[in-house]
Each structure stands twice: as C-alpha cells, then as structure tokens.
Structure 1
Amino acid sequence: MAKIDGHIDAAEMEHIVSIGERKGMRAQDVKALLADCHNVKLSMPNNDLDRFDQIYDLVEMMLADGIVDDSEMDFCIDIATKMGFRKAVVGVLVKKITTGVKDGLSREEIKNEAISFLEL
C-alpha cells in the first residue's frame, strides 16, 4: 500500500513499523520485510473483525503522509472487496474509516460504527 503512490515517506514508514510492532515484530524485521515484499505471500483474514482491522490499517497508511492519492483509495476499496466485504458497502466503509481517523475518533469508535453499518 505504501508503495502504490511511488514512494514511502517517513510518516508511512513509521506507521508500517508501528503496525508490525503491534503484531509482535521488531522494527528492523519490518523494514527487511518491506524491502523484500515482492517475495511475501499474503493471507486473508478469516473473520470480519480481523478484516476490518486490516482495512483500518490500510486506511491509516493511506492517510499517513497527509495526501490521499486516488490510487491509494482505489487500492483500499479493492482489497476490502477481495477480503470478502460486499461490493455495495466497501466504498462507504473505507470513507467512514477515513473520516473517523481524520476526525480523531478511536479505532474502537470507528469499529463500533462499522459493526452497526456492516452488521458484522
């Protein structure tokens, strides 16, 4: 996601590292993984709450550099669809997360709103 606009700035790298650390990885391991990301096999989450968390992380990444590129927004929507969210709601879901993050809402507040919206 961070590379989709052609570059990774410091804020995006910091965010990627914080996500990795939250998942139990060391910063240097995250950076090494990112440097060799073309060899990484992705696995999809198997429940809606984990799917939400991954989409949330993608949206935060999209917002990390303060610039929302159309290709980044399209990527988030495409990934949400591939994860199994209904096509009819993925655009609204990504926009709700984006708005919530920009408005300073917590992850849990945004998740609670999404749960009622998506009926997770």
Structure 2
Amino acid sequence: MNVTDIIDLVKLGKASAKSHMRNLIEIAAADGNLGTEEQRLLEYAALRNNISRDELKTIQANTAKVKFEVPRGDREKFNQLYDLVHMMSVDKNVHIEELRLCEIFAIRFGYRKEVVREMIELIRQNIEKWIGPKETMDAVVKSMKVYE
C-alpha cells in the first residue's frame, strides 16, 4: 500500500464519518426538536469519529452538502445503526418519523427489510439495559438472519 492509497482510505473514512453524522442529525431532527440529550450524543459521536466541533457545526448547518455513504463492513454498519437507534431513543420518546428513518437507514445499509423493525427494537432494548454495540450485535446475529 502506497501513500496515495493511505490518503484515500483516510478521506473515505472521513467521508463515512461525516455521512454518519449527517444521518444522526436527520434522526435527531426528525421529531422537529433537537434536544439537549440529542445534541450531547451528536457531540460524543463526532468526537468518536474524529469530527471537530467546527466540522459538526458545519454539517449541522447544511446536511444536504454531505453525501450519504454506506458504511463498509458488518461491524461498521451495525455500529452506525446502533448509534442511530440510540439517537432515536435518547430522549425517551420514540417518534414515528425517527423510527421510519432508522428503518430506511438499516435497509440502505443492507439489512433485510423483514427483520429491520425487530432488530431495531432489540437494539433499543439493549441500549436501555446499557448493553454496548458489540454485545448487541452478537445477540442480533444469533437471533435473526439480518443480511439479504
């Protein structure tokens, strides 16, 4: 792997992280109210994805400029879906539009439409029990056929 390949991978990773932030912002705003808990979760997710506060503000100001990217790899897809479900439920009030968006993202990530609702509910229940994404992914994979 040469230097150009490494730079391309970093750029792709940054694009995927920005796409993830855009998706989280869409979920957070779906109920018409970006609450304190949702903003904190956005900031935490940005930090975990090496997105600065200024970059987050820029993404929030104009989500349309950020291209949707399908996460690469099963673990990354699941981690992003886990974050989306967490955003949906962080304010303890699951709005139907937030749920619909989570379902759309899950399907776009390649999960089977037939199991998406059940999968999201299992993720939501595990988040309430403070069970992390790795353990939740293991439980989901064991209990249902998630990929097409």
TM-score (norm 2): 0.75
Show the 5 A alignment for 1:8-87. Answer: 8-87=34-113
How far the C-alpha of 1:118 sits from its partner, in A, is 4.3
1:110 aligns with 2:116: no
The residue type equivalent to 1:36 in the other structure is N
CA distance in 1, matches of 2:75, 2:118: 17
Return the offset for 1:108.
Answer: 2.1
Matched AA of 1:4: A
Q: Which string of whole-angstrom CA distances, capped at 9 and with x for unpartnered residues, describes residues 7-28 of structure 1?
A: 2111101101111110111223
Larger Rg: 2
Distance 1:74 1:100 in 2: 19
Does the 8 Å contact 1:17/1:31 carry over to 2?
no
Structure 1 stretches of 4+ moved >4 Å = none
- Percent identity between matched residues is 26
Aligned match for 1:95, one of 113, 121, 129: 121
Please list every run of 5 or more consecutive structure 2 residues that lacks an aligned counterpart in the other structure.
Answer: 1-26
Distance 1:105 1:28 in 2: 31
What displacement does 1:76 show? 0.5
Q: Aligned Cα RMSD in Å?
A: 1.5
Note the alpha carbon deviations across 1:78-118, whole angstroms, 9 max, x for none: 11011110111111110110010012212222121122234
1:6 matches 2:6 = no
Gaps of 5+ in 1: none
The TM-score normalised by the length of structure 1 is 0.91
Paired with 1:72 and 1:108, the residues of 2 have a C-alpha distance of 23
How far apart, in 1, do the equivalents of 2:68 and 2:61 lie? 15
Contact between 2:103 and 2:116, CA under 8 Å: does it hold in 1? yes
Number of residue pairs matched? 120
